Structure formats: C-alpha cells, structure tokens
Amino acid sequence: MRLTSSPFVLILLLAAFSFVAYHKIRERWFVCEKDTKLCLNGLLLERSGPQCEFPDCTEDEIIYSEILWNTPLHSWTGVASEAVDFLVPLASRLPNLAVVGGYSQEYIAEYGNGDAQVITHLRDNGITVSEKRLMKENDDSAASIYITQYDPGTYKDDYTRHRCETFDYLIGRVMFETTSIPSNWISACSDWVDELWVPSTWGKDCLIKSGVPERKIAVIPQSIDVIKFDPKVVKHDHSLLPGSENAFSFLSIFKWEDRKNYQGLLRAFITTFDGDDSVALYIRSGKSADQLKGVVEEFVDELNVIKCPKIVWLAHVENKKLPQLYATADSFVLPTHGEGWGRPIMEAMAMELPTIATYWGGSTAFLTDDNAFLLHPHGVIPGYTEEKQIINFDDSDKHLWANVSESDLGKIMKFVKNKRNRHVVDEVRSEARKTVVKHFSREPVADVVMQQLMRVQKKILNKKQVRRNEGELKDL
C-alpha cells in the first residue's frame, strides 16, 4: 500500500493545511457581528461585536479609515496611560492608525518591549501622516478621522496645527471631575468637534447639563491591561512598602490636590488608628516627604493626637513595578471628592485589593457595593475653591463635588483591617477583579471603540456617496 493513499496521512495533511489557514486568518482583525467568548485567567469574557477571526467579513465591516490619534505620551498622567490601553489593542485592528502629540521615548519604554514597540510604530506612522497632510497629499476619496485626548481648551490651536479641516470627522475625548465642565470648554465642545467621547454616563449627563448637545456625545469607557495587573502572576515586594511585613498596609495613589481629599484621608487615618496599632498608610503622590511630614504634623497638633499611626511617603515607583506595589499592600483607599474615571481605583480592583473609594463621579461606572467598600457622599459641596484656575475662574457653586465623611472612612478602614471580616473582604475583592476583567480590560473596551468607529466610518462614506451622486446629477 502506498503511503500517500493512506487515509491517516490525508487527514494529517488536511489538519496541517487547516492549522496554517487558521493562523493566516488570525493575522487580520476586523469588526464583525459574531459573538465570541475569550477565556482569560479562568474568567469568561462575554463580548459583543468582537474582532473577527473569520474570512467571511464583508467590505462594509472593515475599518480602513485613516485615523490620526492626538494624545500626550510623555508623562505619568491618567490621559497617557488611558491612551496606551486604547491604542495597543486597536493597533492590530486598524491598519491606518497613527499617533501624534507630546511624546517621550523614555516614558514609553517603561511599558516594556511589547507595548513600547506598538506605540513607537504608531508614532512613526503619525509623523508620516502629518507630513502628508502638511503637503496636502491626503486622499479625499477615503474616510479620515481625527481623535484628540487633549482637553477642549486646545481644540482651536490643534485644529490649525494638525490641519483638521482636511479630516472628515473630528472626535474629542472629554472628562471632568465636577458637575459641570469649565465655561471655556463648552463652546469648544460644541463648535470644534463633531463628536465627544466620555468615559461614563455620569460624565455624559454633566456635559448635557453644561449645554453640550446630547447627539454629539458617546460613552466609551476606559480600560486597563488585566494581564499586567494580575494578582495570580505578580509577586509582592516589601521593599516597595518599607515595614509592611509587620503591619496592615493601606495604599493610596493620587495627584496631590484638594480634589483627591488628602486632608480627609490623613485626618481619618490619624483619628481612627494610633501608634500602637499594627497599621500603616503608604502614599504615592507628587509632594516631597518633607511636605507630607509638615501636613501630618499640622493635623496631629490640630487634632491633639498623642501617638500618630505610621504614615509613609513613597518615592517614584516605575510603571513596571506598579502591579507589585498593589500586590504588596493589604488595601487601597481613595476618598476622592470626584473623578473623571479613577484609574488607580480600577487598577487596585484588578489586583484584587480590597478597595475603599467614593461612590460619585465617573467611578460609578465600575464601582458597586459588591466589588468595593463604598463611601457614599453626604451631599455635594463647591469644588476647586482654592484652585479656581482649573475651572477657568468660574463660580465654584457651578462646580460641585462629593462631600465625603471622615467618620465613614474611618469605620470602613477599621472594618477592612479587622480579621474577623476577612470572609466578606475576600468576596468583595474577588468580585472586583471579575468586574474589571469582564467589562474594562483592553479587548472588550476596544470592541466598543471599534463599533463606534464603524458607525462613524459609515456616516462619512454615506455623506461622500451623496455628494458624488449630486455631482453626477449636475453633470447630466
């Protein structure tokens, strides 16, 4: 019997062909209507409008628009980290995606080789696209979309800088932390872009109340890299939290400003615990250790504290070590007055840290009583009263944020620390990661972005077709 006639050999050849064909197909990532599920670290992700792995997508389902994404990629800000988590999964799905804006290779390198290579490639594409548009070499027959993550105060200048008049559609990413946006943003949102992406329904309502037309607003949540922030993989490192081996450690990460309510955090911690308790508060922020010490000493004198509990100021922690920082802590706490989203809160939840946070603002998109220990506001109070430049010197009564109870915060911190409540704490922190992985990891959010871009592309092409039809009728 000849070997080539063996049914077994034919089956092997067919299997090999199918394997190669399948992986060739996987090299193309387009949006389609199929429903799939992705298993990630044992959790099942339900996904609608996923990236297509099959060869039967139609031409109408491919996003081939030229997309120029303007974003600051040069420092550790929420906007920059949000941008990376948007762009990395989109890069494999959008063949004509490019990036412009502030850029630092040193900053991007901290993300590691994989993400850094993707962002660097997109940045190189951005330089090419910008040069072509300056030379007026863009193809008007194709769809083109401009997306900016800079705040609306920059829209007018960027319109000229990036020749936005040559794009078919302009999108602005907007978020703010109070009940209104600054007055100088309102006209920019209404006049300089076709569409606004906000991260939450709460943010959408704030824009509408500020006078921005509802028809221009779409909700696109933020995402994080749940593979990077994975408690099953990341190991703790007590050198990042000195002395944490023998104490229950609360971690707080924030920008040092009134909005983050650092005063309430320090007062609640100082009055809830004392120097005899095996507990410590670790703060990573923008102040120096000496400045923090001065603030703490003021509160100690003001509150007549005899023995102050341990409060530790953390120096700069590299991006690649952030997951280890979370992994080493016992709980995360941020009694913020208001967030446009709240990335450190979501990162802590992804790391299964028992998370204490304010239930107000953009964070309500992912916080629930099942996945976090919530600080429910005692009404609202005027915001940015001492930093009025942030709100364009508007009346602070128009910019309200959450009034957080220090007493409530102290009680919740004691509850989380108490070993007798460990079963409740474990249930909450487990649910926290499930929420983030299912709804706010990179790929599910990229699906939402792709669906929105598909809608925009169809809108652009329909308009172009109407204009072509009108031109043909005039020629008759």
Give the CA-trace dihedral at 195, 201, 205, 206, to 10 degrees: -80
**Cα–Cα distance measured from residue 191 to residue 385, given in angstroms and rounded to the nearest whole number:** 29
One-letter amino acid of 187: S
Using DSSP, state whether 34 is helix, strand or coil: coil
Q: Which residues, 6 or more positions from 259, have their beta carbon under 8 angstroms from its beta carbon? A: 177, 336, 337, 338, 383, 384, 401
Using DSSP, state whether 250 is helix, strand or coil: strand
**Cα–Cα distance measured from residue 373 to residue 367, given in angstroms and rounded to the nearest whole number:** 9
Residue 204 burial (CB count, 10 A): 19
Check residue 52 and give its pLDDT: 37
Dihedral (CA of 157, 163, 168, 172) sign: negative
**Cα–Cα distance measured from residue 302 to residue 329, given in angstroms and rounded to the nearest whole number:** 29
Reading the chain (476 residues) residue by residue, the pLDDT tens digits are 333 445 554 545 545 544 443 333 333 333 333 333 333 333 333 333 333 333 334 445 678 899 999 999 987 788 999 999 999 999 999 999 999 999 998 889 888 879 999 999 999 988 777 766 665 655 666 799 999 999 999 999 999 999 999 999 999 999 999 999 999 999 999 999 999 999 999 999 999 999 999 999 999 999 999 999 999 999 999 999 999 999 999 999 999 899 999 999 999 999 999 999 999 999 998 777 777 888 888 888 888 888 999 999 997 788 789 999 999 999 999 999 999 999 999 999 999 999 999 999 999 999 999 999 999 999 999 999 999 999 998 988 999 999 999 999 999 999 999 999 999 999 999 999 999 999 999 999 999 999 999 999 999 999 988 888 877 666 65
**Cα–Cα distance measured from residue 363 to residue 401, given in angstroms and rounded to the nearest whole number:** 13
Check residue 92 and give its pLDDT: 93
**Range 428-456 burial, b when 16+ CB lie within 10 A, else e:** bbebbbebbbbbbbbbbbbbbbbbbbbeb
Check residue 332 and give its pLDDT: 98
Q: What is the DSSP string of 199-223?
A: SSHHHHHHHHHHT--GGGEEE----
- For residue 358, what are its two tokens? 């304010």
Residue with tokens 């430049």: 389
Check residue 74 and give its pLDDT: 87
Burial of 308 (0-12, 13-18, 19+ CB in 10 A): middle
Check residue 54 and give its pLDDT: 30
Measured CA distances, 264 to 27, 267, 385, 403 (Å): 51, 5, 16, 10
**Cα–Cα distance measured from residue 431 to residue 352, given in angstroms and rounded to the nearest whole number:** 8
Check residue 112 and give its pLDDT: 82
**Is the whole-model pTM more than 0.95?**
no
Inter-residue contact 113 to 120 (CB < 8 Å): no
**Cα–Cα distance measured from residue 383 to residue 259, given in angstroms and rounded to the nearest whole number:** 7
